[in-house]
Amino acid sequence: MQINLITGISGSGKSVALRAFEDAGYDCVDNLPVSLLENLISTLEKEKCEQVAVAIDARRGQSIANLPSILENLRKNHQVRVVFLNADTNTLVQRFSETRRRHPLSTNGKQSQSATLIEAIDKERNLLEPLRAQAHSIDTSNLPAHALRSWIQDLLKDKPVGLTVVFESFGFKKGVPSEADLVFDVRCLPNPHYDKALRPLTGNDKPVKEFLGKIPEVMSMESDITQFINKWLPHYIADGRSYLTVAIGCTGGQHRSVYLVGRLSEHFRAQKDLMDLQLNFLDRHRELDSIPAAKA
């Protein structure tokens, strides 16, 4: 059975993610108590269920501490993937303010609502940290719901075994993705933004590719990043990781970083000597994916 555990900080998009799994045909269960997880899987196994997505949060406090050992036990007979959704505190506070919902770990006290909310968020982060360390983490701070659904759909195309390498472009002006394992700053490269003809385009467009492909510094940067990943990838695999996020950042996340993510992804997907390592690859463009698709 393929078991997908969806967890993370309240307000980071677990409901959106769970609906994406449901739309993909998964049997879905929301807000399941940790103590019932093994019983649920046992029941679904008897019913010949092949794919399940379960959302669990920290609302029941310390019982979440038992989850890593439960997952380890389930991995003996099933494929288990943990998807951890996260967001920065300012974004979470804004979302709770907009929805007027109370945080699951909020307590009634003499403190102001904002102080209580921040304390609840910090408490939840501490409780869930052991899960975040072993999960595929997605930072939704600058990610609208439609982009998160798209990323989950891409994730479902990936096999939940081996190491998944995620190449992600981003713009430094909106911050570094919290889930990034490796971060490469390419703001030192010539910027197509200053060419009026290229400014409205992206690193996926042919004119931008041709512009950047002729610049020696861009080729040198690509070569250095490729060599670094080639050298250390076997060590990340030996470390038993399930996900490795390589984040490439430029100023706005539109031209240089997008171009290099495409080049790196193309290079590593073509490496036949990596096929035996059970490697999977995903491409993400945080800033571009945050823009709603134009209506026909």
How many alpha carbons lie under 13 Å from residue 227 in its C-beta half-sphere? 6
Angle of helix 216-238 relative to helix 206-213, nearest 10 degrees, comes to: 100
- Of 62-76, 89-103, 208-222, 270-284, least confident by mean pLDDT is 270-284
DSSP state of 284: E
pTM of the model: 0.71
First to last CA, the chain: 39
pLDDT in tens, 13-37: 999 999 999 998 999 999 898 989 9
Are the C-beta atoms of 89 and 121 separated by less than 8 Å? yes
The side-by-side arrangement of strands in the sheet containing 279-285 is 182-185, 243-250, 163-171, 279-285
Q: How far apart are the C-alpha atoms of 74 and 68, rounded to whole Å?
A: 10
In order of their start, the domains of the chain are 2-156 (3.40.50.300), 163-289 (no CATH)
Strands 79-86 and 136-139: parallel
pLDDT in tens, 31-69: 898 989 999 999 999 999 999 999 998 876 667 888 889
Determine the pLDDT at residue 275.
55
Model confidence at 295, pLDDT cuts 50, 70, 90, reads very low
